Amino acid sequence: MDAGLYVVATPIGNLEDITQRAIAVLRGADVIAAEDTRHSARLLAAHGIEVPLSAYHEHSDEHAAGKLLDRVAQGAAVALISDAGTPLISDPGYRLVRAAQERGLAVVPVPGACAAVAALSASGLPTDRFQFEGFLPPRQVARQNRLRELEGVPATLVFYEAPHRVQECLADLVTVFGREREAVLARELSKTFETIRRAPLFELSEFVSADPDQRRGEIVLLVAGAPARETDVDEASARWLRRLARDMPAKAAAQIAADVTGLRKKALYEFLVAERGGTD
């Protein structure tokens, strides 16, 4: 196998969710860098892979990264895996990948399972735009502050959440996003108790409060993006507006664009001013 750092996705539950290529790469690697070597030993045993494991986790220092990359530089194939899913997605590996690139070493992705993408694919929420947020802050004040920043994002939001915090997280989502915003609880994906439930936030919150089983296992929460506001200027109108504003004052451009598009003159004018950094 060619020398390089191979970033290999492993299952998020069901042990069969691993690609043939991932198995071949793991089998052919000289060393497998794993977040938790005991945990990963079980996966490797299940697939009959006997390759030495080396610990690489969140707290690994530059020295550990340097040693792994020295091996790549000497011609080795090093595979990076995490406890579940795709490394670097709410998992360690970012600094290792950067360091490998900086040393001119090959970094090869071996794609596969990722809880965020699996949840999105079966959520029933729009997937044309989504924003991955990973874990929210554990404390309520910080969590609500972060949610306030996200309240107007017009894309499906994807969160990872610990089971013991899902109830309070849903309560905060109701507080900040309102009762009616659609959301999805995607729990234990690919496992025996897989649950995918789409409902308005307050219903989802009640569902989780009423049933302790919904507060167990591994959880992805998805929240529909903010609805478009009436004053939002769509891309076609924005093009009109920008073109007109090249040849006339902003107010006149906004008036003509309002006549043509049916949007409010004030909204169009404010859009132009905002685009110009607040100056007319």
Binding site for ligand SAM (CB under 6 A): 12-13, 82, 84-86, 89-91, 114-116, 160-162, 186-191, 218-220
Find the angle CA(135)-CA(137)-CA(140) to the nearest 5 degrees: 130
For the CB of residue 20, give the shortest distance to ligand SAM in the complex, in Å.
19
State the minimum distance, in angstroms, from the CB of residue 59 to ligand SAM: 14
- Residue nearer to ligand SAM on the CB measure, 216 or 242: 216
Residue 90 or 167: the one with the smaller Cβ distance to ligand SAM is: 90
Strand order across the 182-187 sheet: 130-135, 156-161, 219-223, 182-187, 195-200
Nearest CB to ligand SAM, comparing residues 72 and 158: 158
Task: Indicate the residue among 24 and 162 with the shorter CB distance to ligand SAM.
Answer: 162
Q: Among residues 146 and 264, whose Cβ is nearest to ligand SAM?
A: 146
Residue 203 neighbours by CB under 8 Å, 6+ apart: none
At its nearest, how many Å lie between ligand SAM and the CB of residue 182?
A: 19
Nearer Cβ to ligand SAM (143/187): 187
83 versus 275: smaller Cβ distance to ligand SAM: 83
CB of 13 to ligand SAM, least distance (A): 4
The letter for the amino acid at 243 is R
Half-sphere exposure of 218 (CA within 13 A, CB side): 17
Residue 38 CA to its chain's centroid (Å) = 27
Closest approach of Cβ 189 to ligand SAM, in Å?
A: 3
**Nearest-CB residue to ligand SAM?**
85
Query: Which is it for strands 195-200 and 156-161: parallel, antiparallel or unpaired?
Result: unpaired
The nearest distance, CB 122 to ligand SAM, in angstroms, is: 11
Least distance in angstroms from the C-beta of 87 to ligand SAM? 7
List the structure tokens of 200.
């308005």
